[in-house]
Amino acid sequence: MVVRLPSGVGTAEQLQIAGPANLDAARDLGDLADDGTGVVWHWDAPAEPGVYRMQRDGDTVFALPICLSEDESQLESLPADVLENRLAAGRAVQFRTAGSGRDQRDVMWSWLLIAGVLCLLGEITALLTFRS
């Protein structure tokens, strides 16, 4: 695993990696290294699930969840009635499903472009006709 940390975390010397509370403290949590754009976290084998934190002077400056369980990483979509009725709680909710098949396009620009080209052609025709 290679993770590029945000630029505001500091340098690799200032950071300590902290694992979840149930993780053995002697376990290898990877290495931090400075490169040209910031700090990079290299870890060969993240095996334990949990939230791993980069700490500077005891304060967490970056956190990353690793190896989420299948329940937490389930990415099914919600049915429309659940979103509109139960989760909306009386608020007006609007959404568009990706698989609806209706792709609405703004065709007015196409017609304006065609009208502009026709006007230009008409002007050139008029200039050539009345050139005398």
The CA angle 12-17-23, to the nearest 5 degrees, is 165
Residue 89 pLDDT > 60, yes or no?
Answer: yes
- Arithmetic mean of pLDDT over the chain: 81
Domain boundaries, the chain: 1-96
pLDDT in tens, 34-69: 988 889 998 887 767 888 889 988 899 999 888 756
Report phi then psi at 62, rounded to 5: -160, 140
Angle (CA) 26 23 15, round 5°: 65
Q: What is the pTM of this model?
A: 0.47
Is residue 24 pLDDT above 70, yes or no?
no
Please name the fold of domain 1-96. Immunoglobulin-like (2.60.40)
Q: Which among 41-45, 88-92, 112-116 has the top mean pLDDT?
A: 112-116
